[in-house]
């Protein structure tokens, strides 16, 4: 099983995002020996098993005892029950040949399930740790120490912060969806920026407890749309407690309370402007919007291409997209949501899980067997269906679907899309008495991305010229 699948399974089994740190500081031990360090950690493991989603031993506090410390670390990892992932906090990072040796040491000799790594040497130094889908990597992105801004917050010539750029790279580097990021809970703004840059990656967020991070703010900034995606490691706060198990339980419950407050079943009352633009940025960074030279179905060459089918590979982003649709749908009166195949099918499924409204869809081809259905799903003649699609270019595909819906007695008054390409669909639909609603217009997206430096001025002008001269 893939590493993050195992981690998710453990989290769901114990309903906990708490990662218990195992840092046997010498001053916490009855005597400065490897044996004392091993017993110290095993005691914490035994006390916290019901609350721990994972354990994170820090290699440095074992290595200080030499060969005996290395053996103690191996024994501590072996003491963690099966089914609970172990993340070795070792912060390795070296050239590829050395990285392969480190990977063998961490995974094969010590038996850890995941490891923390430095990103400074680039992809080839990370690849040896990513070869096995069952093993995970947490790449240092924006750390919790005061000096992290010296390098990690440098501004690139594109205007992007270095740690945000790294987060986008990490999303591409994850060979088997087994790469996450370390982002300090001490900087909620950085957590939010990294979550925008890498909507689906798991984040290890140290800093809660001794370093004084605000747990609630950190979770609000870092959680994915599914209420997961953040591990909260706590070491000294648990280790120094009179009752480590009781303290772990308190922390687990605090985390879950914060998650409950953050995650609303349904949809927020409105979408703040900044969140709308965060969503626009995430559509770009996820590859749902691409710039280049593309041949469209019409035969035209376009400098921009929308591939919203990619949303199915980004569940957190898909959830947020579905929420924005819900904001528009809440203002409309309808009985059924009619999804246009194929891009809108997963989108409307996600919407339905939020707003609990029933879905149907007109088939692209009439079924030639069984029920011979033209429309899939349950409906009754006379009901109103709102048509939902990913994009609107011209009205042609919408009219084809509307005609099939109306042919079985359904009424259509509204069409809802994520992006209006502004190529005539709104006017064509209006002439037929149908109102179109869009989360974004292409003009405003281009203006935003150009203004933020996400795309070049040249790219923006190419799209504007296409819209003006060829897109209509």
Catalytic residue among 39, 56, 74, 91: 91
Cis peptide bond N-terminal to 264, omega within 30: no
91 catalytic residue (yes or no): yes
Q: Catalytic site residues? A: 91
């Amino acid at each position: 099983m893939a590493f993050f699948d195992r981690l998710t399974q453990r989290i769901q089994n114990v309903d906990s995002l708490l990662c218990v740190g195992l840092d046997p500081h010498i001053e916490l031990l009855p005597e400065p020996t490897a044996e004392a360090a091993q017993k110290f950690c095993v005691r914490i493991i035994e006390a916290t098993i019901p609350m721990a989603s994972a354990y994170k031993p820090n290699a440095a506090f074992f290595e200080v005892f030499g060969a005996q410390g290395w053996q103690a670390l191996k024994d501590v990892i072996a003491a963690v029950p099966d089914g609970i992932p172990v993340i070795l906090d070792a912060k390795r990072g070296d050239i590829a040949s050395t990285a392969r040796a480190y990977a063998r040491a961490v995974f094969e000799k010590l038996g850890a399930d995941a490891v923390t790594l430095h990103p400074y040497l680039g992809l080839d130094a990370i690849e040896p740790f990513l070869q096995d889908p069952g093993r995970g990597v947490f790449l240092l992105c924006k750390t919790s120490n005061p000096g992290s801004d010296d390098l990690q917050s440098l501004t690139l010539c594109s205007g992007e912060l270095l740690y945000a750029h790294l987060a986008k790279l990490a999303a591409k580097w994850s060979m088997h969806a087994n790469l996450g990021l370390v982002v300090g809970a001490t900087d909620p703004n950085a957590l939010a920026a990294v979550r925008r840059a890498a909507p689906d990656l798991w984040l290890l967020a140290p800093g809660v407890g001794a370093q004084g991070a605000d747990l609630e703010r950190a979770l609000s900034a870092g959680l994915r749309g599914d209420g997961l995606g953040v591990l909260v490691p706590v070491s000294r706060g648990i280790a120094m407690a009179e009752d480590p198990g009781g303290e772990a339980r308190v922390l687990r419950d605090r985390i879950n309370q914060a998650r409950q407050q953050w995650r609303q079943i349904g949809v927020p009352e409105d979408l703040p402007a900044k969140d709308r633009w965060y969503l626009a940025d995430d559509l770009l960074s996820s590859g749902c919007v691409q710039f280049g030279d593309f041949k469209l179905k019409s035969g035209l060459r376009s400098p921009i291409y929308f591939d919203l089918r990619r949303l199915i590979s980004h569940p957190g982003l898909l959830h947020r997209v579905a929420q924005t649709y819900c904001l528009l749908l809440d203002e409309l009166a309808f009985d059924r949501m009619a999804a246009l195949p194929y891009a809108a099918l997963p989108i409307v499924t996600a919407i339905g899980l939020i707003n609990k409204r029933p879905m149907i869809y007109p088939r692209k081809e009439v079924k030639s067997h069984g029920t011979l259905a033209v429309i899939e799903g349950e409906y009754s003649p006379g009901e109103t269906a709102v048509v939902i699609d990913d994009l609107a270019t011209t009205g042609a595909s919408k009219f084809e679907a509307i005609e099939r819906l109306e042919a079985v007695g359904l009424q259509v008054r509204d069409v809802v899309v994520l992006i209006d390409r502004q190529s005539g669909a709104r006017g064509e639909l209006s002439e037929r008495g149908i109102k179109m609603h869009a989360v974004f217009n292409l003009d405003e997206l281009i203006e935003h991305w150009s203004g933020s430096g996400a795309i070049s001025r040249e790219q923006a002008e190419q799209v504007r010229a296409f819209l003006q001269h060829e897109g209509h």
